[in-house]
Each structure stands twice: as C-alpha cells, then as structure tokens.
A and B are shown apart, each in its own frame.
Chain A
C-alpha cells in the first residue's frame, strides 16, 4: 500500500529536550516536505527536499532541522523544542515537477512542548 508514515503520532515533551519526528514514504517520490498546522493559520511549509541530500527552507524553518540521506526518509529534528512549536505536523511526498501534483500526506504528529 502506497503511504507516508510518521512516528510518533503523539508526543508530549519538555522545553529543550531534543526530538526527532520520522517520516517515510514507499512511493519512490523525489519530493518530500514538512508542514505545520496551527489554528487559524492553515498549513505552512517548514522544510522541503527535492531529492537525496537536497533540502531547503520553507516559510517557517526557525527551530527545525531536516536531513535527506535516503530517498524514502525525511526526518524532522527539533534540537531545542520550545512551547511555540506545539503544533500538528504533517509530512508529505510527491513526484517532482510536471504538475503531477498530488502530495500524499502522512497521518500527522501532534506535538506538545511544555
């Protein structure tokens, strides 16, 4: 089954404790991206990757890191989480370019930083 998986689905942590949210896709997609969703703001892009070892900042990258060492994985790293990073996070993947368009989303990770 074609899918994007994220782990963990729920996480409660404390300020300053490093954490990683994993994202994996099995569709051989070049493009992967992280979004955060906040009430009244919709979804905003944090980071994206066009392919292995190619990553770039989205609209709200502060406080986040990513890596793309393998095509299927795109982890989101919070080196020192703060309460303003409490949010619902989505990983997405798609084929690159040509407007084939549909981004497949993971199930979401609900993060609370105390």
Chain B
C-alpha cells in the first residue's frame, strides 16, 4: 500500500522566516512520482513540483526548494524568507506505477505566515 505522511498539521511563522514542510512516503514501487501542491484560501490546487524516483537531485525555484532523499523516503519542501502570500495548505502526494495511477495525498500542512 502507498502512504504519504505529513506529520506537521499546522505551522505558524513570522514573515521572512525559513520554513520546512516534511513529507515521508511509503511505496513498494520501484518507479514512482512525488508531487507538492499548494492550496491557497481560495481553494484551488496549484501544482508546485514533480519529482520521479530516479532523480534525486534537489531543486530550487526562487524561494522554494525541495530535498528528495530516497534513503529516508522523504521529500521535504523549504520556503526561504517566507511571505504572507505563502499562507496556504500544502499537500505532498505520491503516484505509483500501474493500477489506478491515483495520487495518494498526505493530509496536508497548513502554513500561516504572519506579518
């Protein structure tokens, strides 16, 4: 069975602080895909990043960075110099091969960035 755990239910930081959102996954597939989505208060799901299981390179996009470590089955997301507009619920998700190809989501981490 596949599973995604986001242990942090809620995080509150002050603007300009760095914050890391944790994601731990479980899968028996040798090939799989990991995602992060952002859900702002307006409710839509905004795709942030996709990473496949063969690519362990970390990625940086502006203030966002992702640390993928297969050894610990983790795919953590860091926001540097957080801003109020980063306030949202963030979901980590896993997609395996075959079967329903569904996305298995974590329960989400609600990030509040205070001015």
* Residues on A facing B (Cβ under 8 Å): 31, 33, 35, 40-45, 48, 50, 56, 58-59, 88, 90, 92, 94, 96-97, 99, 101-105, 107-108, 110
Contact = CB atoms under 8 A, between A and B. Distances in A.
Contact of B103 (A96, A97, A103): A103
Nearest to B6: A42
A97 B43 contact: no
17 contacts: A33-B100, A33-B103, A35-B105, A42-B106, A43-B93, A43-B105, A44-B105, A48-B101, A50-B101, A59-B102, A97-B101, A99-B33, A103-B35, A103-B103, A105-B44, A107-B44, A110-B43
Interface residues of B, number: 22
Interface of B: 31, 33, 35, 37, 43-45, 47, 50, 52, 91, 93, 95, 97, 100-103, 105-108
A108 B44 contact: yes
Contacts of B107: 40-42
Given A42-B106, A45-B102, A56-B100, A101 B33 contact: yes
A40 B107 CA distance: 6
B100 A42 contact: no
Chain A's interface: helix, strand, loop or mixed, by majority? strand
Contact of A88 (B43, B52, B105): B43
Contacts of A40: 107
Contacts of A31: 101
A48 B99 CA distance: 11
B91 A42 contact: yes
Nearest to A41: B107
B30 to A, nearest CB: 12
A92 to B, nearest CB: 8
- What 8 pairs across the A-B complex have the smallest Cβ distances? A42-B105, A105-B45, A42-B107, A45-B102, A43-B105, A101-B33, A101-B50, A108-B43
